[in-house]
């Protein structure tokens, strides 16, 4: 599911999932789409999620960062925050994404930072600011996720990478 061992999770979150037989750092990734686009999550908690994405390979025909690529980064980061807020008994499902593109980027990495605007029992809304390497805002986004009860997460339901026993 992608090399994401360097993600910084709060220890209490790692412990919560470990008690269920889940190796959260091994399981965690930006998903198949995020991996193809080079999204890397570097910090993750319900209070703040930080990730990067290369501009190269994610451009539109004019050579600028594609607005849809910014949307993928924003939804990935906001969804991770919402998932961590919901805890191991809920899943986060995006229901609304709004992106405003302020400037183009032609090269380098963009960095997204997701912070909560609202964290409730059934929804979570995150603001995601995406900036270029010079710290200039490229995109402002807002994501609302519905938090659905799924019961305790079972390690047997996870891909092998996320199981503590590896079986």
Catalytic residue set: 75
Confirm if 99 and 70 have CB atoms less than 8 A apart.
yes
CA distance linking residue 68 with residue 59, whole number of Å: 9
CA distance linking residue 71 with residue 113, whole number of Å: 13
How many whole angstroms from its chain centre is CA 14? 16
The residue whose two tokens read 């986004």 is 141
* Nearest by Cα to 50 from 80, 28, 70: 80
How many whole angstroms from its chain centre is CA 98? 16
**In 69-165, at which residue ranges do the beta strands (DSSP E only) sit?**
90-101, 109-119, 123-131, 137-149
3-state helix, strand, coil in the chain (%, to 5): 25, 35, 35
């Amino acid at each position: 599911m992608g090399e994401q061992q360097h993600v910084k999770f709060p220890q209490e979150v790692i412990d919560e999932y470990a008690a269920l037989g889940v190796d959260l750092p091994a399981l965690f990734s930006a998903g198949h789409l995020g991996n193809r686009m080079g999204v890397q999550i570097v910090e993750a908690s319900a209070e703040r999620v930080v990730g990067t994405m290369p501009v190269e390979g994610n451009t539109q025909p004019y050579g600028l960062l594609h607005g849809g690529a910014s949307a993928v980064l924003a939804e990935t980061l906001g969804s991770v925050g919402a998932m961590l807020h919901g805890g191991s008994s809920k899943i986060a499902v995006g229901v609304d994404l709004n992106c405003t593109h302020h400037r183009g980027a032609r090269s380098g990495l963009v960095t997204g930072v997701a912070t909560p605007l609202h964290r409730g029992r059934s929804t979570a809304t995150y603001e995601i600011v995406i900036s270029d390497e010079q710290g200039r805002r490229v995109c402002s986004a807002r994501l609302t996720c519905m938090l659905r009860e799924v019961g305790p997460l079972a390690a047997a339901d996870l891909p092998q990478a996320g199981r503590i026993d590896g079986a």
